[in-house]
Chain A
């Protein structure tokens, strides 16, 4: 499809395991964002990619969180040694440039047992 695609849609894992979340942005969108949304709360910025520039990692909550993006395509968000507090919906968004409207995927619902 033409929208932002995220996989998996749901992930259940045990505390201490590593997880990898994937985001396929809209083709041609140079900007890509990752957010975390805890139950009943707003969006928490995690990381921003813009083209080939160094990413803005200022929102990553700890060194267990990392993200990569290859050029202007797929991005993966990795959480190492997951904790129960990591349980949330992780949303990815892309836009044609910063300050342009973001197009969101449906998110990955992560549950840590």
Chain B
């Protein structure tokens, strides 16, 4: 079975500061891991994905995430926050077996000018 835990439902950072959004997963098989962003009144957009290639994954808008098997984590980071990064962020996991994607409950990112 797979599941995802996102620590911190709300994160606030100052513009230009480091963004760190946490995601821990559980999976009985090698996972596929994803980060999605959701802007108000829109669907989800893919930021990046991990599919067992490089452990450090670079995505769009300057975001990246590192897969750490020993910590079962896939935290999302960005060196310098921009006002336009304010949104809801979702971590998701799936496995080669089974049909479902499991989404975390989301982290709302606020960027303070």
In the complex, residue of chain B having the shortest beta-carbon distance to the beta carbon of A31: B99
Q: Is the CB of B96 within 8 A of A99?
A: yes
Query: Which residues of chain A come closer than 8 Å to B42, judged between CB atoms?
Result: 106-107
- Docked CA distance A109–B102 (Å): 22
- Contacts A42-B90, A43-B90, A101-B34; is A50 near B45 (CB within 8 Å)? no
Chain A contacts with B in 1-43, Cβ cutoff 8 A: 4, 6, 33, 35, 41-43
Query: Which residues of chain B come closer than 8 Å to A35, judged between CB atoms?
Result: 103
Q: Number of residues in A with C-beta < 8 Å to the partner?
A: 25
Contact of B105 with A by CB under 8 A: yes
- Contacts A42-B105, A91-B43, A91-B44; is A101 near B100 (CB within 8 Å)? no
In the complex, residue of chain B having the shortest beta-carbon distance to the beta carbon of A48: B99
| Additional pairs, 4, CB under 8 Å, beyond known A48-B100, A107-B43 | A35-B103, A41-B106, A42-B106, A56-B100
Interface residues of A (CB under 8 A from B): 4, 6, 33, 35, 41-43, 45, 48, 50, 56, 58-59, 91, 93, 98-99, 101-107, 109
Interface residues of B (CB under 8 A from A): 32, 34, 36, 41-46, 49, 51, 90, 94-96, 99-106
